[in-house]
Amino acid sequence: MSNVLIGIIGVILFIGLALAGALFLGPRFQEATVNSKTAAVEQSLSQVVHAASLYRMQEGRDLLASNYSTNVQTLRDAGYLKTTVASPLNGSPIFTVDASGGGAVTPIHHVYLALGPSDDKVARSICMQIERQAGSPDPEAAMEPVTTYAGWGNRIGARKGPGCMNYTLGAGYSAYMPV
């Protein structure tokens, strides 16, 4: 009978220690998850940027922003990407845009992908991490909603490197990288 009681007490102690460990490691574990997802997003964008640069160098012409939804497939078909690259978070496509953030018949300037809607806390965390890594002095201010098409163009046109914004008129949190 005492062995059963000792076993029950042992199980209770084990569960208590497991819960204490989960509570202690919770925020750090969540931060590591966000860092991992951020790296995956940046890697996906970087693959398309490098493929587009190689395409420009090898083919002697630029991809056009007006083909924003098919340029990644064009890079794959031409052998510059092994597979069609998409968002590692939700499988959404990576788009190419011009310097104003649109799809004019001009060379591509940026690639971007939607991380998630404006109320998605994970997408916000990833977006803030991208801003931190890009050297933003105030990542929290960078999360202020961009509510106009002109605001989108001003934001990506002013940035020389990668970044992220909360584009409420469109896809919500959006990560971008210049070509």
Render pLDDT for 9-45 as a digit per residue (tens, 0 to 9).
765 766 665 666 655 555 555 677 888 888 889 998 9
β-strands 94-97, 110-116 pairing: antiparallel
- Amino acid letter, residue 159: R
How far apart CA 81 and CA 141 sit, in angstroms, is 35
Distance between CA atoms of 58 and 56, rounded to whole angstroms?
A: 6
- Full-model pTM: 0.79
Q: How far is CA 2 from the centre of its chain?
A: 56
Per-residue pLDDT of the chain in tens (179 residues, 90 and over written 9): 556 666 567 657 666 656 666 555 555 556 778 888 888 899 989 999 999 999 999 999 999 988 888 889 999 999 999 888 888 888 888 888 887 777 888 899 889 898 988 888 889 999 999 999 888 888 887 788 888 877 877 777 777 789 998 888 777 898 999 98
- Give the total number of structural domains in the chain: 1
The domain containing residue 109 runs over which residues?
2-178
Q: What is the pLDDT of residue 32?
A: 76
